[in-house]
Amino acid sequence: MSSETSKKVSFNTAIAVVVANMIGAGVFTSLGYQTVAINSIFPLLMLWIVGGVIALCGALNYGELAALMPRSGGEYNFLSRIYHPLVGFVSGWISATVGFAAPVALAAVALGRYASAIIPINPLIISISVVILVTIVHATDTRTGGIFQRYSTAIKVILILFLIFSGLIFTAEPVPISILPKEGDMSLIFFGGFATNLAYVSFAYSGWNASAYLANEIENPKVNVPKSLFLGTLSVMLIYVLLTFVFLYTVPVSELAAGQAADFSKPLEVGHLSAEKIFGKSGGNLMAGMIALLLISSISAMVFAGPRVTQMIGEDFPLLKKFATTNSKGVPVMAIVVQAIISIALILTASFDTVLKAMAFVLDIFTFLAVLGVIILRIKQPNAERSYKAWGYPITTLIFLVSIAWVMYFLFMKDILPSIEVLLFIKDSKNYVADSIPAILSFGAILSGILVYFVNKQMEKK
């Protein structure tokens, strides 16, 4: 094996990055919110099936883009070439500054909370320590990071499959449920809270595009990136549907809904409840330890993928060229360390949740534009060599675009518009600064990216 090949990310590692990016704590908590609006098994399972189909449609279309433009950076690479370098830069700027750092902070804080239930250490210390340790692993060399990612993801999947198997086999008093539709289910899907909850399910599926961020480092990217996107997303979809079924099989819908309604301000620990039904009271600690372990893989995947966006920006823009600096093994150490510093800062200030809510809408804009680019390139470059074409085009493309447009509308109406109204004094607020933060962050991130882009252009002219 040549030295160059040994630095490459294998196909299996690429799949592991996709799976690990997608599976986080959300699938263990979001069902509580869903049962408040939907009290029937078939629509609840359909939420996760439909959410998975949407993610698969996105993965299929990103696969075509990655095969046509096999360079690391994800949306930064795609949008720069489809539309204009400014569009790509702004998307990359937001991903590089908070797009990955905030989810890392969220996962690390959740890990600290779960681990502290077993280990008597301050959750904050656990959170920061894990971010530092994972950063060190990935800042060493790509091969070491790849091995760590594969094994941590394998442990994650094994633990989840163990929970699924245990729930199906060892539950002492299973809930008598049927997965077939019953009277009233169609009205819940088309006229109930289905669409609103689908937006939340979409968050649980985010990360399906992860391997596109490190295309440069993947062996045979024109083939392996599309395959890893599809197989990774399909695997997670199957896991999510089975896991949701086990939760509903072990805990009555009415109990989930009542538990969530009792305190709607924070997510119900559905996984904890299910583990107690399967293993007894000791199941709570078992679930806490399990989620803590699987979140290590999630943090690792984001530390692996995120800095590659920063690295590509550094290669293209002289103002940020230090972020393209690599060690002797080709690892973008500076970019990895900077992302870790931002994540730790967000953990210490406990501001990651606010940042995530503000950035979710903006990041979805760029994902929408990327998939729209599949249609644009089919029209503008019909004869371009495409080693992979999106299966089901244009149906799968349109399904994703319509679905993500709905999620964007939901996010805008729920988080961004009220914040704009407060910012512009259209709506009164008792806490002007806090309530206007989503608008300030979302538009501030875009404007700061535009400013840095033009400052760089002026530097290039000198």
pLDDT tens track for 242-301: 999 999 999 999 999 999 888 877 778 888 889 889 988 877 777 888 888 889 999 999
Assess contact for 215 and 66: CB atoms under 8 A: yes
Cα–Cα distance for residue pair 432/459, rounded to 1 Å? 38
Question: What confidence score (pLDDT) does residue 4 get?
Answer: 46
Say which residues have a Cβ less than 8 Å from residue 321's Cβ, sequence separation at least 6: 314, 315
Long-range interactions of 192-197: CB distance < 8 A, separation 24+? 192/37, 192/38, 192/43, 193/34, 193/36, 193/37, 193/38, 194/37, 194/38, 194/43, 194/46, 194/47, 195/406, 195/410, 196/37, 196/410, 197/33, 197/34, 197/37, 197/38, 197/47
Mean pLDDT of all residues in 317-338: 90
**pLDDT class for 7, splitting at 50, 70, 90?**
low
DSSP 8-state symbol, 251: S
Residue 47: closest CA among 295, 216, 244: 244
pLDDT at 235 over 80: yes
Distance (Å, rounded) from C-alpha 81 to C-alpha 178? 49
Taking residue 389's Cβ as centre, other Cβ atoms within 10 Å add up to 16
80-139 pLDDT, tens digit per residue, is 999 999 999 999 999 988 889 988 998 898 899 888 878 889 999 999 999 999 999 999
Q: Closest Cα to residue 343, out of 116, 33, 76, 103?
A: 103
Angle of CA points 87, 410, 424, to nearest 5°: 75
Alpha-carbon span 297 to 300, nearest angstrom: 5
Sign of CA dihedral 406, 180, 29, 210: negative
In angstroms, how far is the first alpha carbon of the chain from the final one? 45
Placement of tokens 């893989």 in the chain: 297
Say how far apart CA 315 and CA 327 lie, in whole Å.
Answer: 15
Q: How many residues does the chain have?
A: 462
Q: Which residues lie closer than 8 Å to 339 by C-beta, 6 or more apart?
A: 96, 100, 101, 104, 135, 303, 306, 307, 310
What span, in angstroms and rounded, lies between the C-alpha atoms of 129 and 439? 32
Q: Three-class SS of residue 309?
A: helix
Q: Please tell me the distance from the alpha carbon of residue 308 to that of residue 74, in angstroms, as a whole number.
A: 9
pLDDT at residue 1 above 60? Answer: no
> Which range is least confidently modeled, 287-291, 296-300, 315-319, 324-328?
287-291
> What are the residues whose beta carbons fall under 8 Å from the beta carbon of 329, sequence distance 6 or more?
7, 140, 141, 142, 143
Show the tokens assigned to 194: 């289905």
CATH level 3 topology of 3-461: Amino acid/polyamine transporter I (1.20.1740)
Would you say 230 and 59 are in contact if contact means Cβ atoms under 8 Å apart? yes
Count of C-beta atoms within a 10 Å radius of residue 427: 13
Judge contact between 216 and 71, C-beta under 8 A: yes
Q: Pull the structure tokens for residue 182.
A: 């019953």
- Looking at residue 194, what is its pLDDT? 85
Q: Distances from the Cα of 1 to the Cαs of 6, 15, 141, 221, in angstroms?
A: 7, 22, 17, 18
Residue 6 has pLDDT above 70, yes or no: no
Is residue 5 predicted with pLDDT exceeding 50?
no
Amino acid sitting at position 436: S
The Cα–Cα gap between 176 and 153 comes to: 33
Model pTM score = 0.90
Q: What is the mean pLDDT of residues 373-402?
A: 94
Mean pLDDT of the chain: 89
For the stretch 338-375, pLDDT in tens is 999 999 998 998 766 677 777 888 989 999 999 999 99
Per-residue pLDDT at 352: 67
Q: Decide: helix, strand or coil at residue 9.
A: strand
For 20, the token pair is 């690990």
CA atoms of 376 and 61, how far apart (whole Å):
12
DSSP 218: B
pLDDT digits (tens, 9 = 90+) for 145-198: 989 999 999 999 999 999 999 999 998 899 999 899 888 888 888 876 788 788
Q: Which of 145, 87, 86, 109 is nearest to 345 (CA)?
A: 109
